[in-house]
Amino acid sequence: MNKQLFTVWTFTRINTKRFFRDKLAIFFSILFPLIFLFVFGGLSGGGDNGVSFNVAVLNQSGSQYSKQFVSQLEKGKVFKVDKGITTQAQANDKMAKSQLDGTIVLKPGFGDTVKGQNHPSGKAEVIYTQNDASAGTTLTSVLNATFTDINAKYVKAEAPFTVSGTQTNERSLSSFDYTFAGLLGFSIIGIGIFGPINVFPELKKQGVLRRLHTTQLRVWQFFMSTMFSQAAIGLVSIAIQFAVAIGIFHLKVVGNYLEIIPFIVLSIFLILGIGLAVGGWAQNERQAAPLGNVIVFPMLFLSGTFFPRFLMPSWLQHVTTFLPLTPVIDGLRLLTTEGKHLVDLGPQLGLMGLWLLVIYAIAFRVFRWE
């Protein structure tokens, strides 16, 4: 038994060394997921949940108060003011290109003190295009709420109806939290499926697997060595993604790494079984690539990789629950950003265990040395 395990360890080292000598493999397994991380991290705001509007501010009033008001808008986080716009024509051009959500126009006399009153007053107008009507109406509501707060400082009025807000102790997930868990799933797919379906047909073509078959190497030893080497590679790739997400996009990991790591390894083993089945069955790249794409792309788009599953119709959510990648992404999200523990992941771990049995039973049955 020790000799058999030594064989597994030897081939694990060989496979790992082969990977880190392959620049193309390093790119697609480590650098390519990082590119997606930067793209989707930038699109989702890097974990920032604050709502902001890109606006132009045209001050048609020369009052001191209007200048102070514009300065406060520029310092705030809600309005991102384009200071280079000084005319309505410039604003209209950028709004037509969807570079601005709207234009705030401070009318003449904004901030002047009317005779008989002890406070400034004025009117502001929000201009927006037909295509940005939703953002424009929201912008109008936000600006109106801002003026309501200012008005309350000058004119005291008792409101017959009021509303108050209460903060709960629960932490909600940002869009980046959802995106990051999905990107980890994308990375695991790249390591677990695309690796074997690209490498195995090439090894068969070169006759490497045929020569290995003439030795005492068994299929289970070959599978285990591949599983361990891919798990090591996957942990390196995912560790780099965690470092980038935390350092650049300010991801807050609230889970326990001692629980996250074994779950990641189990996830790699699960998805790798699909790659072993497809790569072990295919005799060449023409067979492996199409079958791999047929399996991968539905999981990428239906398992919550790039957008949350709760945006799907309810019937589709029920169907996609049983895809192999879905419990992987859900489990990663629960452990990483929601602070759950492995004992809380009964449904996910149960489904993953079932898929492990089914997938590896198929992989052992269809594997061919040549």
Q: Does 281 reside within a domain?
A: yes
Q: Which amino acid is at 47?
A: G
What is the per-residue pLDDT for 240?
92
Residues 22 and 68 in one domain: no
pTM over 0.85: no
Does 223 lie in the same domain as 145? no
Number of domains in the chain: 2
**Do residues 295 and 278 make contact, with C-beta atoms less than 8 angstroms apart?**
yes
What is the tens place of the pLDDT at every residue in 312-345?
888 888 889 999 999 999 999 889 888 889 999 9
Same domain, 64 and 145: yes
Q: Are both 77 and 37 inside the same structural domain?
A: no
Name every residue whose Cβ is closer than 8 Å to that of residue 187 and which is 6 or more positions away in sequence.
Answer: 29, 33, 234, 237, 238, 241
**What span, in angstroms and rounded, lies between the C-alpha atoms of 133 and 145?**
18
Closest CA relative to residue 10, chosen from 179, 202, 228: 228
Question: Is pLDDT at 356 greater than 50 in this prediction?
Answer: yes
Residue 199 or residue 270, greater confidence: 270
Same domain flag for 308 and 288:
yes
Statement to judge: residues 353 and 238 lie in one domain = yes
Q: What is the pLDDT of residue 166?
A: 47
Looking at the structure, tell me whether residues 119 and 24 fall in a common domain.
no
Q: Is 130 exposed, middle or buried (0-12, 13-18, 19+ CB in 10 A)?
A: exposed
Calculate what percentage of the chain has a pLDDT beyond 70: 90
Domain co-membership, 299 together with 203: yes
- Specify if 221 maps to a domain: yes
Domain containing residue 131: CATH number: 3.40.1710.10
Domain range enclosing 87: 53-154
Which residues is 120 bridged to in the sheet? 113
CA angle 111, 104, 59 (to 5 degrees): 45
Summarised one tens digit per residue, pLDDT across range 269-325 is 999 999 888 888 877 777 877 888 888 888 888 888 877 787 788 888 888 999 999
Q: What pLDDT band is residue 167 in, cutting at 50, 70 and 90?
A: very low
Same domain, 74 and 38: no
**pLDDT (mean) for 11-35:** 78
Question: Which residue do the tokens 């289970």 mark?
Answer: 220
